Structure 1
Amino acid sequence: MRMAEGGMASEEYRTFLQQPSGNMDDSGFFSIQVISNALSVWGLELMLFNSREYQSLMINPINEKAFICNYKEHWFTIRKLGQQWFNLNSLLTGPELISDTYLALFLAQLQQEGYSIFVIRGNLPECEAEQILRIMRVQQQQRPRLIGEDEAQTSAGYAFCDEVVDEDEELKRALALSRQDIDVEDEEADLRRAIQLSMQGSQEAGSTGGQKEMLTAEELRKRRQAYFDRYVQLHDQQQQPSQ
Structure 2
Amino acid sequence: MRDLSACRLILRRQEGSLCAQHCLNNLLQGEYFSPVELSSIAQQLDEEERMRMAEGGVQTEEYRTFLQQPSGNMDDSGFFSIQVISNALGVWGLEIVLFNSREYQQLRIDPIHEKAFICNYKEHWFTVRKLGQQWFNLNSLLTGPELISDTYLALFLAQLQQEGYSIFVIRGNLPDCEADQILRIMRVEQQQRPKLIGEDEAQRMSVQHASDPGHTADEALLDEDEEELRKALALSRQDMEVEDEEADLRRAIQLSMQGTGDLPQSSSKEQDFTVSLSRL
TM-score normalised according to structure 1 size = 0.55
- Aligned-residue offset at 1:152: 10
Distance 1:71 1:168 in 2: 28
Distance 1:168 1:48 in 2: 27
Greater Rg over alpha carbons, structure = 1
Q: Which residue of 2 aligns with 1:210?
A: none
How is 1:148-227 mapped onto 2 (pairs within 5 angstroms)?
Answer: 148-151=198-201, 167=266, 170=269
Q: Which residue of 2 aligns with 1:80?
A: 130
How is 1:116-135 mapped onto 2 (pairs within 5 angstroms)?
Answer: 116-135=166-185
Q: Structure 1 unaligned runs (5+)?
A: 4-16, 154-165, 172-243
Q: Which residue of 2 aligns with 1:65?
A: 115
Q: Which residue of 2 aligns with 1:208?
A: none
User: Structure 1 vs Structure 2: percent identity of aligned residues?
Assistant: 86
Equivalent position SS for 1:140: coil
Deviations 1:152-206 (A, max 9, x none): 99xxxxxxxxxxxx739959xxxxxxxxxxxxxxxxxxxxxxxxxxxxxxxxxxx
The answer to whether the aligner puts 1:25 opposite 2:75 as a matched pair is yes
Distance 1:131 1:49 in 2: 27
Distance 1:133 1:169 in 2: 13
Equivalent position SS for 1:139: coil
- Give 1 or 2: higher strand fraction: 1
Equivalent position SS for 1:135: coil
User: Contact 2:116–2:170 (CA<8 Å) still a contact in 1?
Assistant: yes
TM-score normalised according to structure 2 size = 0.48
User: Contact 2:132–2:180 (CA<8 Å) still a contact in 1?
Assistant: yes
- Aligned-residue offset at 1:148: 1.4
The answer to whether the aligner puts 1:107 opposite 2:206 as a matched pair is no
- Aligned-residue offset at 1:19: 6.6
The answer to whether the aligner puts 1:46 opposite 2:145 as a matched pair is no
Which of these residues, 190, 196, 203, is aligned with residue 146 of structure 1?
196
- The structure-2 alpha-carbon separation of the partners of 1:148 and 1:54, relative to structure 1 and needing over 3 Å to count, comes to same
Distance 1:60 1:50 in 2: 13
- The structure-2 alpha-carbon separation of the partners of 1:104 and 1:41, relative to structure 1 and needing over 3 Å to count, comes to same
Distance 1:168 1:120 in 2: 23
- What is the CA RMSD across the aligned residues, in angstroms? 2.8
> May I ask how many residue pairs the two structures share in their alignment?
147
Distance 1:64 1:115 in 2: 18
- Aligned-residue offset at 1:134: 1.2
- The structure-2 alpha-carbon separation of the partners of 1:152 and 1:82, relative to structure 1 and needing over 3 Å to count, comes to farther
Higher relative contact order (CA 8 A, sep 6+): 2
- The structure-2 alpha-carbon separation of the partners of 1:133 and 1:151, relative to structure 1 and needing over 3 Å to count, comes to farther
Segments ≥4 residues shifted beyond 4 Å: 168-171
Equivalent position SS for 2:117: strand
The answer to whether the aligner puts 1:37 opposite 2:87 as a matched pair is yes
Distance 1:29 1:58 in 2: 32
